[in-house]
């Protein structure tokens, strides 16, 4: 169970970093594609939700 939790935390961090990168590109690039912002926001929400559920789950 501990290995699955570690993989889930690492996956959350990677997904969150990719989402933050998309949002950063949205604000810094000259051409502002709404798709980048929406995709980045969805990835950040997914990462935060996954991290919350991973840390909330009971330790076995």
Compute the average pLDDT of residues 33-47: 91
Compute the average pLDDT of residues 34-53: 91
Domain count, the chain: 1
Separation in Å, CA 39 to CA 1, 8, 13, 25? 30, 20, 16, 11
60, pLDDT greater than 70? no
Residue span of the structural domain in which 38 resides: 2-56
pLDDT of 5-32, one tens digit each?
888 889 999 999 999 999 998 888 777 7
């Amino acid at each position: 169970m501990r290995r699955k939790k570690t993989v889930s935390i690492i996956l959350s961090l990677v997904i969150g970093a990719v989402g933050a990168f998309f949002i950063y590109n949205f604000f810094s690039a000259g051409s502002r594609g709404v798709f980048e912002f929406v995709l980045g926001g969805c990835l950040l929400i997914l990462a935060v939700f996954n991290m919350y559920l991973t840390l909330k789950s009971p330790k076995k």
